[in-house]
Amino acid sequence: METVLKVTASDDVEVQDNRFVPKVPKTLEETGINEVLLDDLIFKLLLNRGVLSGRRIAQEICLPFKILEKVLQDLKNQMLLGHRSTIGLNDFTYFLTEEGRKKAVVARNASAYIGAAPVPFNEYLESVERQSIAKESPNCDDLKRAFGDLILESSIIDTLGPALNSGRGVFLHGNPGNGKTSIAKRIYKCFREEIYIPKTLLIEGQLIKLFDPQCHEPTGLPDKKPINHDQRWIRIKRPAVIVGGEMDLSSVEINYNPSTKLCEAPMQLKANCGIFVVDDFGRQRIKPADLLNRWILPLEKRIDFLTLPNGIKVQVPFDELVIFCTNIDPKNLLDEAFLRRIPYKIRVHDPSPEQFKQIMTFLAPQYGVECDDAIITYILEKHFNGKRPMRCCHPRDILDQVVNAAAYQRTQPILTRELIDFACKSYFTAMESVQ
């Protein structure tokens, strides 16, 4: 439950401002992929799209036209491609010949992947090392900026700071509704640098989709600078991958679709150089110990092992800050050996009456509601004050109820005692047995 609160190199790369930037390849050899793989990508693209210009093919495959130009000409000379008309600038519109179509079908049956040419695995390994989450060292100002819309105990900030600098593991635990998920979701904002990741990886002959719009937020280049990096890579904010109760052991393995022969990276690979949040830890479809058994080596050594569809096992980086959010006391979930591998444990406490007032005062204007100390005191004395524990989410949820009731009554939302009593009765009645 989210709560809104308030708190005052190698040859393959080049460095710009000491940052990793994938250099635009100038030759096919510099791409690190072979011509057969590239031919198959062209075949499948044309099988799917029909007729495309050479420059459009280059754009779809994310390689420079100068590289594709010779490849397309070779395929035309082999009578696998034809061209219909010139469109200027030494370009043509290409289509598959009958023989080319046969090769395209064979390529599609081997893998239905269509898109950016893959990045070789060794280049990805270097990029993770160069852009490691451990290379950023967020300070107090960075944390205050990231949590600028939350009210947090100073002890939480003081513990989070070293935890983020460690790049290791964090337990956020405490009663439900106190903002653990809100804290976890904002942690990635502590990191200033943006990174580059490949759209697709080539590992031991297998294509694995890495870029995921649900996990990765693309960013534009600063100051409208021209694009001058390898287009097989995409510039993103540091990843923030969040999983919940739906997580099982298959989530941390390569997802292979036998029908399409497509592979998708597991969640922890998508989280590299960022954060991986396991929300509601202890309520997954697998036992906590089973998940931690799977991650003993990654948490300890910062490496993981994945099995490809062809049976080959590969070592991959585990470069991320893992954050476990749970309503259950960690010592009731795991034994000492597991807890030792997650070095930082932070308890998020229930709010004090003063913090409750600060939250309500901060949120009320966002709801278009006026709020004073007298009405907050009434809420505390009438509906809390030993009757039930306070949670950080309660001010927000009470305001929601008041605003919704006012909308139904076609009146302005005002924090009257009557509306507050109505809101609290509706909100708390079903929870009395679980408080």
pLDDT for res 87: 65
The share of the chain scoring above pLDDT 90, in percent, equals: 54
DSSP H/E element including 223? none
* Alpha-carbon gap, residue 152 to 155, rounded angstroms: 8
Kindly indicate the confidence band of residue 330, based on its pLDDT and cuts at 50, 70 and 90. Answer: confident
Kindly indicate the confidence band of residue 277, based on its pLDDT and cuts at 50, 70 and 90. Answer: very high
Is domain 34-117 in CATH 1.10.10.60, yes or no? no
pLDDT tens digits, one per residue of 335-362:
777 788 788 889 999 999 999 999 999 9
Residue 294: which of 265, 241, 344, 251 has the closest Cα?
Answer: 251
Q: Which residues pair with 317 in a beta bridge?
A: 303
**Model confidence at 56: pLDDT above 90:** yes
pLDDT for res 433: 44
Kindly state the DSSP code that residue 134 receives in the 8-state scheme: G
pLDDT for res 13: 43
pLDDT tens digits, one per residue of 367-377:
888 888 999 99
**Model confidence at 168: pLDDT above 60:** yes
Kindly indicate the confidence band of residue 17, based on its pLDDT and cuts at 50, 70 and 90. Answer: low
Question: Rg of the Cα trace of the chain?
Answer: 27
Q: Where are the domains of the chain?
A: 34-117, 122-347, 353-434
Residue 275: which of 316, 235, 324, 344 has the closest Cα?
Answer: 324
**Model confidence at 222: pLDDT above 80:** no
Q: Which residues pair with 243 in a beta bridge?
A: 278
* Alpha-carbon gap, residue 36 to 354, rounded angstroms: 68
With a CB cutoff of 8 Å and minimum separation 6, the contacts of 97 are 79, 80, 81, 82
Fold for 122-347, please state it.
Rossmann fold (3.40.50)
Whether 122-347 and 34-117 are alike in CATH topology: the answer is no
Q: Which residues pair with 234 in a beta bridge?
A: 197
Kindly indicate the confidence band of residue 130, based on its pLDDT and cuts at 50, 70 and 90. Answer: very high
The amino acid at residue 36 is: V
The length of the chain, given as a count of residues: 435
* Alpha-carbon gap, residue 204 to 313, rounded angstroms: 10
Considering only 41-55, 218-232, 255-269, 292-306, which range has the smallest mean pLDDT?
218-232
Kindly indicate the confidence band of residue 26, based on its pLDDT and cuts at 50, 70 and 90. Answer: very high
Q: Quick one: CA dihedral 147, 393, 159, 303, positive or negative?
A: negative
Encoding tokens for residue 22? 């994938």
* Alpha-carbon gap, residue 196 to 221, rounded angstroms: 12
pLDDT tens digits, one per residue of 248-266:
888 899 999 998 889 999 9
